[in-house]
Chain A
Amino acid sequence: MTGTETAPRHEKVSARHTFRLTRPAVSGVVRVRQLVVCGTLAVAAFLAFCWTMSVGEITIPFADVLRAVAGSGDSGTLLVVQEFRMPRALVGVLVGAAFGLSGAILQTMTRNPLASPDMIGITQGAGTAVVAGTVLGWGSGLGTQTLGILGALATALLIQALSWRRGSTGYRIILIGVGVSWICTSATDFLLARGRELEAQAALGWLFGNLNGRTWDQVQTLAWAMVVLVPVALLLSRWSRTLQLGDEVATALGTPVQPARVALLLTAVGLVAFGTAAGGPIAFVALAAPQIAQRLTRSAWPPLVASALTGALIVVLSDLAAREVLPDTELPVGVVTGVLGAPFLLWLLIRVNRAGSGG
C-alpha cells in the first residue's frame, strides 16, 4: 500500500487559515474543521461521561450528576457517583482515548489503515500473558493489570527485535506483528481449552474487555500513564506525519527515521498496554476510531486528538449500552464496541463516497 492511497484522492482540502504573529514570532495553520470536530467530540464525550453516571440501578438526574462531579450535592448521590460510577466511567474515557490515540499513531506510522494494536499482536500478547497467569498460575501474584502491561511490552519488544535488521521498516513491523499475533492467539486458545472451566471462564471474561468493578486505583495508574504518554504522542506527531510520506522523503525532510519509528512504536504500545491492563482488550476501538476521526475531520491522515476523543466516546457509549440493553445480563463492553462503531464507520464510508471525496 502506498501513502498516496491513504490520502483522499479528490483534493478537497478542509478550510484552513494561516496566521502569523510578529511578537511573539509565531506562525501556524488553523484548521477550522478539525477544531470544530474536536470541540464537538469533546462535548459529546463529556455528555456521554455524565449520562453513563446518571443511569444505573438508581437513576440520578443529570443536574445532580454534574453537581456531584463538581463535588457538591447530598452525601448519597456523592457516594454513588464518585465512589461507584465515576471510576468506571473514567476508565472508559481513558481507555478509549488511549486506544484511539495508539491506533492513530500506528496507522500513520505504518501507512496502513488496517494497522492497529489488535492487528499487530500487542493486544494478543497482553491477552496471552493474562490468560497464562489465570490458567497456569504463573505470576498470579502480580494481578491481571501488571500481567497485561508486561505481556504487551514483551510482545512489542519481541516484534521490534524480530523486525530489526539493519533498521526496521513499517512494512516488516506489520508482517512480523501479524505472525506474532497469530502465535499468541493460538497459545491463548490452547490455554483456554486446557484450563479448568472456572479459570477459563474468568480469563474469557477478561478477554472480551470489561469495565465492570473498576476502582480509583486503576484510574490512577492509567491516568498517570496518559499524563506522560499523551504529550509524547503529540510531540512525536510531526515525525509520524513525515514517516507517512515514506522513509526516503522522511529522511530528506530531516526526520531521524529509525529512532522516530522506535519512539512512535513504544508510545503506541505504552498507551495500549496501560489501556488493556485497565479495561481488557476492547476490540475494534483502536482500528475504527482513527478512521472515523479521519473522515469526520476530512484530513489526509488520522488526526491524533480527534482519534482519542472518538475512541473515548465509543467506549463510554458502548459501556452504557452493554449495561442497559439486555434487562438481566450485563455484556462485556468489547462486545458492544463493534456493534456501535462498525455501522458508524460503514455509514461514514458510504456518506463520504456519496459526497465524492473518496476513501
Chain B
Amino acid sequence: MSGHRRGLRPLALVLALGGTLLLLCLLSLMFGSRDIPPGQVFSTLLGDAPDARVDDIVWAARVPRTLLALATGAALGLSGALMQALTRNPLADPGILGVSAGASFAIVLAASVLGITSPSTSIWFAFAGALLATVAVYLLGGSGRAGMTPVKLALAGVAMTGLLSSLTSAMVLTHPEALNRFRFWSAGSLAGDSGDTLGQVLPFLVFGTVFALLCTPSLNSLALGDDMAAALGRRVGLVRLAGVAAITLLTGTAVSLIGPVVFLGLAVPHIARVCAQRAGIGPDHRWLLPLSAVLAPCLLLIADIAGRLVARPIEVQAGVLVAFIGGPFFIALVRRHRFAEV
C-alpha cells in the first residue's frame, strides 16, 4: 500500500462516520410516536414549520433528546477510551472507578433519606456522588509507597463499586419510594429531558473534554508502561490525574443525565480500535479518542431510535437496547478480528 493511499483512508473513515452520525440525527428527529417526513423536519429546523404540532414535537421533544444522545454518547465514548488507556485493561469501563455506583448511591440516598425524587434535583446528587466516589478511589488507589499502578486503580474502583452498590441495594430493598426513582433512572432513558438540564451541565462536559484532549498526546507513551512513559519524558502522575478528572466529569455528567449506560464506554473503544486498524492507523490514541467520541453517539442514537420503534406505542429504554444491539455487534467484532491487546 502506498503512503498516499494510507493518508486517504483515515479521512474517508472520518467522513463516513460523520455522515452516519448526521443521518442518525435526522432519523432521530423523524421517528417517534408520530413520524414526521424528512422534508417537514428540515423546514421546521429552518423555522418554517408546517403546523404548530410538528413544531412542538421537533423543537421541544426531539431536538433536546437528540442533543442529549449526542452529548452523553460522546462523553461516554471518550471517557471509555481514556479509561482503557489509563488502566491498560480491556475490561475497564468508565464505571470502574466507581462513577456509576457513586451516582446510583447518591440518587437512592437522596430519595430514601431526603425524599428528593424529582429528576432535575437528583441529577445534582448523582453528580456529587460520582465525583466523591472517584476521588476516593483515586486516593485509595494511589496511596502507599509504590504509588499508583493501573492494577491498583482498577481494583480500588471495583472494591468501591462493590461497597456502594451493596449499600444501594440495601437501601432500595428497605425503601420502596427509593426503588421507584432508582428503577426509572437505572434503566437508562433519554426521554423526558427538555434540554434545560443539559444546558446546566454543559460546562462540565466541556471541561471534561478539554482535560481528555490535554492528556491524549501522552497516552501512546503511557501504553508502553509507566516506566517507559517516564523515560520518554511524560509526567505520568500528571497525565493520570488529568485523565481521571476528565473521566469523572464526563462519565459523572453522562451517567447522572441518562443512567448507567456504561456498556457504551466499554464496547465503543474496542470498535474504534478495529476501525482504526482497518483504516491503517493502528492503535494511536490521537485517533482512538475522537473515533470513540463519534461512534458512541451513533450507537446510542440507534438504540434510542430502535427503542421508540420496536414496541410502539410503548418505548423501550435506550439503556436496555444499547446492550441488545451493541452486544452481538461487539461479539461479532471480537470474533472477526485479531485484537491488538490494549
Contact = CB atoms under 8 A, between A and B. Distances in A.
Interface of A: 1, 5-6, 9-10, 112-115, 119, 162-163, 165, 171-172, 174-176, 178-180, 182-183, 185-187, 189-190, 193, 208, 283-284, 287-288, 291, 326, 329, 331-332, 334-339, 341-343, 345-346, 349-350, 352-354, 356-359
B170 A349 contact: no
Contacts of B322: 186
A155 to B, nearest CB: 13
B140 interface: yes
Contacts of B201: none
Interface string B42-68: 000000000000000000000000000
Say what secondary structure dominates the interface of chain B: helix
Contacts of B144: 350, 352-354, 356
Given A174-B91, A335-B173, A189 B162 contact: no
B149 to A, nearest CB: 5
Interface size of B as a range = 35 or more
B12 interface: no
B266 A178 contact: yes
Nearest to B262: A182
Interface string B300-342: 0000000000000000100011111011101100110001011
Given A176-B335, A189-B320, 6 more contacts: A5-B149, A6-B151, A162-B335, A182-B327, A349-B159, A354-B144
A114 B316 CA distance: 31
A115 B91 contact: yes
A334 B165 CA distance: 10
Contact of A342 (B151, B160, B173, B326): B160
B312 to A, nearest CB: 16
B299 interface: no
Contact of A288 (B159, B164, B324, B328): B159
Contact of B151 (A179, A187, A283, A359): A359
B150 interface: yes
A346 B156 contact: yes
Nearest to A173: B334
A193 B315 CA distance: 12
Nearest to A174: B91
B323 A359 contact: no
Contact of B324 (A183, A208, A349): A183
Contacts of B135: none
B287 interface: no
Contacts of A291: 155
